[in-house]
Structure 1
Amino acid sequence: MPTHVPIAEVPRAKPPLVPLATLIGRELRNEKLEKPFVKYGQAALAKKGEDYFLVKTDCQRIPGNPSSSFSVFAIFDGHNGISAAIFAKEHLLDNVLNAIPLGASREEWLQSLPRALVAGFVKTDIEFQQRGETSGTTVTFVIIDGWTITVASVGDSRCILDTQGGIVSLLTVDHRLEENVEERERVTASGGEVGRLNIFGGNEVGPLRCWPGGLCLSRSIGDTDVGEYIVPIPHVKQVKLSNAGGRLIIASDGIWDALSSDMAAKSCRGLPAELAVKLVVKEALRSRGLKDDTTCLVVDIIPSDRPILPTTPRKKNNILTSLFIGKKSPSSTNKAANKLSAVGVVEELFEEGSAMLAERLGKDLPSDRNAGLYRCAVCQVDQTPGDGFSVNSGPFFTPGSKPWEGPFLCTNCRKKKDAMEGKRPSRHTVTV
């Protein structure tokens, strides 16, 4: 009999953040710490045909310099059609990279990623809205640079991290109205209505949805027929692995409606990624059947001196321990495990999930002051100050601040920001 595992996970304690500069410095001082191998597998079973992959293992921060390589893995789970998922697959990466300052060092590049991901998601959503189509998509977008993993997500796809020692960590937040109380409150405060479907006789059925539109998610790219309080601003998390490596499982809700994070990780341990991903999909199908598009990527970050991640010894964990990041497994206290540089320890660099654009873009103001030009933090277009507005009407505004302090937003992006915060009427419903 199919079983349904709720999306909601047990809350985990937040460890202190580790400065990125500290970790980069450790790498530079440790000559033996080479870049890991990245190996992956992908598998999918289609029910509606609205899920899409993005896999790029040959990206370069500095064009023509292989030592600056990084990898991108993403899943786009479309709904109400495929247009938004395809559009995001084709444009999101470029929009993110265009928001990173040119000539940045690796440390600066990694530090810029969280803000660039926010700008890239919002720009992609604005561009898709201009097409006047009504489809939408979730996005789980993963960038791997050496031992540093940065994950941005909207919707209910998910990315988990399984490290040596059996510690399973959730790197995303589910934006389902049914489970996320904070997101429900944000949507209603911005002007949306949250409720279930009403059928004949007044009975309510199904999950909580946002009206108009009836979407059960609070964040997505697209969904032009829903109010703009359904935002494209992603939750972003950045972590750094120890040199023992780890495994990512990135999947659409067809997997997570059937399997918990721990079940998915346990189902494929000890197998290479190309076999592991098939086993995860098979386990989800066995548990629930093919009720939805079921799409999965398994990505292994492997030390350069090992062809495959070592098998994780089976041990008993309580559910709270399995969700902690930064907690060493009991086995890491012995001398053998210490040789692997704190096996299972994941150092958290950054995490932010606010839906307020001003809070996510910071106060830096990219500009060419000599030419009197200011660059929009979202669309990356240079304009004179008179052509747009500052974000300073938000929580960062103080009586002593200057009205042009940033980040600068052009007129169109400022209108988008105001609509997402319920400060102006949302876009009209598009009919096709």
Structure 2
Amino acid sequence: MEVHAEVDGSGVPLAVLLKRELCNQKVEKPDILFGEANKSKKGEDFTLLMDKCHRSPGAGAGGENTGDDDTISVFAIFDGHNGSAAAIYTRENLINNVLAAIPPNLTSEEWTAALPRALVAGFVKTDKDFQTKAARSGTTVTFVIIDGWVVTVASVGDSRCILESAEGTVYFLSADHRLDANEEEVERVTASGGEVGRINIAGGAGIGPLRCWPGGLCLSRSIGDIDVGEFIVPVPHVKQVKLSNAGGRLVIASDGVWDALRFQEALNYTRGLPAEAAANRIVKEAVTSKGLRDDTTCIVVDILPPEKLSPPLKRPGKGGIIALFRRRPSDEMSEDQMDRGCLEPDVVEEIYEEGSAMLARRLNINYPAGNMFKLHDCAVCQLEMKPGEGISVHGNMPKHSRVDPWGGPFLCSSCQVKKEAMEGKLHSRSSQSAVQPVPK
């Protein structure tokens, strides 16, 4: 008597479907492997490497936690200029400011939805607090949070982050805020009262990259830079994606790398190498190509399916990394291979992306996500206010706007001053005099 396997309506055996469902239940968190490399010229590049960071505020740089259920991974590059104070301060304080902006007792899905707004609040609060130190330095920030298979990247400046999926597709997860490369930012800076131009010597033709004045910074967004106009804002570009459980590789690097290597060129140098060796290779090739003209820093992070769920014969030692990042789109996996490895089709899903510099747009989250945040806490610094004390982020919106200014979010008076200054409506910094161009 011949026995046929029971199948569902799609023709796939139920035993295979049940196995896939079991695999999906098991693949909760990926393995995170990482490495960094640096060649220093000015000593102004700093990194943050936290493979296990507790979600609760106060964890900070010492927030390692042995439990995996309530932890995230955090990786960041801070490329300072005009000194290292801003980079060091941001490295020590940004993560706590971000986590403090996320309401407690959220589900995993709610936490993911709240993170983009919390990143904006954390960046602005860090910049606002650093201004009180009266230090003149500034820093770029590329800040990566990995929560399971979800990767969220917040960035100001020109330290870039790219993702290569398991099948070889490259995704850009950060923005480039160099004025030379971002026409929209040039328009925003000039509309806010800044001037954009190249260095002009004795009335001749402008030389060097586009810079904004006063200050001479060639970036439109950063943390710090107290001597530059408020139109240099700390509001980050945020992009959030979800990887399949096939995984992917992140390359995070300062401009010392990207000024020397093209994106695909950098990825090609990492083929067949584990994370730490890949980071060292990228830095070595960048310095070899252009010389050590600037601090040159790279972090490589591999987001991998857990060892027990990897395809057979794919990961003998380092071989799994070689196979994982060498597979091209044409090398399709068979159904049998996918079943054995419990891997999903390699798809990177975009969850969220926003780059506006307007706080009214960045802090406003529609219901139900917005309902997670405390209505009468300042949306930036989390100051608890009495009803009626807060100032709506939409308070100065045009009368024809459909936004309800009584519905929040609200800012405290100090953060409202910061918001209006960033929008070119007033000056909150103590010094607006022109200074010598910063070497950035």
For Structure 1 versus Structure 2, the TM-score category normalised by the shorter chain is 0.7 to 0.9
SS in 1 for 2:97: helix
Corresponding letter in the other structure for 1:41: G
Structure 1 segment 27-66 matched on structure 2, within 5 A: 30-61=24-55, 65-66=67-68
Structure 1 segment 17-416 matched on structure 2, within 5 A: 30-61=24-55, 65-305=67-307, 306=310, 308-311=320-323, 312-313=325-326, 329-332=329-332, 334-335=334-335, 339=339, 341-363=343-365, 364=370, 374-393=376-395, 395=397, 403-416=405-418
Checking the alignment, whether the CA contact within 8 Å between 1:375 and 1:383 is kept in structure 2 is yes
**Which segments of 5 or more consecutive residues in structure 1 lack a partner in the other structure?**
1-25, 316-328
Offset of residue 341 of structure 1: 4.1
Corresponding letter in the other structure for 1:100: I
Q: TM-score, normalising length from structure 1?
A: 0.84
Checking the alignment, whether the CA contact within 8 Å between 1:176 and 1:217 is kept in structure 2 is yes
**Which segments of 5 or more consecutive residues in structure 2 lack a partner in the other structure?**
1-19, 57-64, 436-440
Corresponding letter in the other structure for 1:330: S
Q: Which residue of 2 aligns with 1:11?
A: none
Checking the alignment, whether the CA contact within 8 Å between 2:229 and 2:432 is kept in structure 1 is no
Checking the alignment, whether the CA contact within 8 Å between 1:389 and 1:411 is kept in structure 2 is yes
Greater CA radius of gyration, 1 or 2? 2
Q: Which residue of 1 aligns with 2:4?
A: none
Q: Distance in 1 between matches of 2:104 and 2:326?
A: 45
SS in 2 for 1:427: coil
Q: Which residue of 1 aligns with 2:6?
A: none
Q: Distance in 2 between matches of 1:343 and 1:368?
A: 39
Offset of residue 391 of structure 1: 1.1
Distance 1:400 1:281, change over 3 A: closer
- 1:212-270 CA deviation, whole Å, 9 max, x = no partner? 00000000000000011100000000111111111101010000001111111111111
What count of residue pairs does the alignment treat as equivalent?
A: 390
Distance 1:104 1:368, change over 3 A: closer
Offset of residue 66 of structure 1: 3.1
Corresponding letter in the other structure for 1:123: K
SS in 2 for 1:404: helix
SS in 2 for 1:332: coil
Checking the alignment, whether the CA contact within 8 Å between 1:231 and 1:355 is kept in structure 2 is yes
Q: Distance in 1 between matches of 2:425 and 2:147?
A: 38
SS in 2 for 1:30: helix
Corresponding letter in the other structure for 2:330: P
Q: Distance in 1 between matches of 2:390 and 2:268?
A: 52
Checking the alignment, whether the CA contact within 8 Å between 1:365 and 1:407 is kept in structure 2 is no
Corresponding letter in the other structure for 1:40: F
Q: Distance in 1 between matches of 2:415 and 2:330?
A: 50
Q: Give RMSD over aligned pairs.
A: 2.5
- 1:35-82 CA deviation, whole Å, 9 max, x = no partner? 111011111000100000111122123688431221100000000000
Checking the alignment, whether the CA contact within 8 Å between 2:214 and 2:432 is kept in structure 1 is no
Q: Distance in 1 between matches of 2:102 and 2:202?
A: 52
Percent identity of equivalent pairs: 58
Offset of residue 334 of structure 1: 4.9
Offset of residue 385 of structure 1: 3.9
Distance 1:235 1:394, change over 3 A: farther
SS in 1 for 2:103: coil
Q: Distance in 1 between matches of 2:182 and 2:21?
A: 38
Checking the alignment, whether the CA contact within 8 Å between 1:134 and 1:430 is kept in structure 2 is no
SS in 1 for 2:232: coil
Runs of 4+ in 1 over 6 A off after TM superposition: 26-29, 365-369
Corresponding letter in the other structure for 1:108: E
